[in-house]
Amino acid sequence: MEAFHAAVRRRADGIELDVQLSSDNKLVVIHDHQLDRTTTGSGLVRSHTLQELRQYRADKDSHSRFSKARIPTLREVFQAFSETPLRIIIELKNFLVSQPHLEDLVIEQIRRFQLTERTIISSFNFDSLLRIKELDPLQTTGLLYVGPLANPWEVASRYRADQLHVPHDQLTASVIKQSHQHGLTVLGWNLNSSRELQGALKLGVDGAITNYPGRAKKILRSLNRFE
């Protein structure tokens, strides 16, 4: 949650988060499938109940014994930011670890907070994007991929995605042009260095997913984009 509040302070247009299930099927917001790297816990997130996950600090490298950082639920994130203008990209973490009914539970929460128009659901699991469209045809989805993907605009259309989320090393003028011609919005992800951000924006990307929103905003102003 601290990172999301920091993004607001840096005037980001939105936040991106990863959601997966606890063992008791609660929607929790954490990037890794394993707890070990970023929390004081260990093992699979999917193997722990929400109550168990609450016991671990979510900022493992913090030197403070009194840190209050904990793994939030999707509901808590929505409660904190539903009244802001932030757009929210929700990545479904169901590519490597089975997450039964994850799509249904996420759509249920989005509807509860009336956030359909402000949320984008992305996933490396393309079939999951089809399931989202079955549940709610109006929900915006983004086809997320890594590494080379032949004609990604065609793949996105096949899976009824509205957006293409392209890794920074695969962004080209051709990919952006072809995607736009197919009616797709193009977001570049993992755009963190000034060089990557400037290059992507000059190519005509529609948005940038970055760990450094302040840096991105400064570059946007210098290029007179998205003002």
Long-range contacts at 61-66 (CB < 8 A, ≥ 24 apart): none
With a CB cutoff of 8 Å and minimum separation 6, the contacts of 117 are none
Q: What is the dihedral of CA 104, 35, 122, 118, to 10 degrees?
A: 80
Helix (H, G, I), strand (E, B) or coil at 147: coil
pLDDT value of position 7: 87
Q: What is the DSSP letter of 46?
A: G
Angstrom distance (rounded) from CA 67 to CA 61: 11
- Of the pLDDT bands very low, low, confident and very high (cuts 50, 70, 90), residue 220 is confident
pLDDT value of position 63: 58
pLDDT value of position 227: 45
One-letter amino acid for residue 135 of the chain: L
Asked if 31 and 211 touch (Cβ cutoff 8 Å), the reply is no
Angstrom distance (rounded) from CA 81 to CA 92: 19
Indicate if the alpha-carbon torsion angle 93, 82, 40, 61 is positive or negative.
Answer: positive
pLDDT tens sequence across 65-100: 556 789 999 999 999 999 999 999 999 999 999 999
pLDDT tens sequence across 102-141: 999 999 999 999 999 999 999 999 999 999 999 999 999 9
pLDDT value of position 66: 53
The pLDDT of residue 226 is above 60: no
pLDDT tens sequence across 170-205: 999 999 999 999 999 999 999 999 999 999 999 999
Residue ranges of the domains in the chain?
2-29+72-223
pLDDT tens sequence across 8-64: 888 899 999 999 999 999 999 999 999 999 999 999 999 999 999 999 999 887 655
pLDDT value of position 107: 98
Helix (H, G, I), strand (E, B) or coil at 209: strand
Angstrom distance (rounded) from CA 118 to CA 140: 9
pLDDT value of position 10: 85
The pLDDT of residue 224 is above 80: no
The pLDDT of residue 214 is above 60: yes
The pLDDT of residue 225 is above 90: no
Reply yes or no on domain 2-29+72-223 having CATH 3.20.20.190.
Answer: yes
Q: What is the pTM of this model?
A: 0.94
pLDDT value of position 129: 98
Indicate if the alpha-carbon torsion angle 119, 213, 196, 148 is positive or negative.
Answer: negative
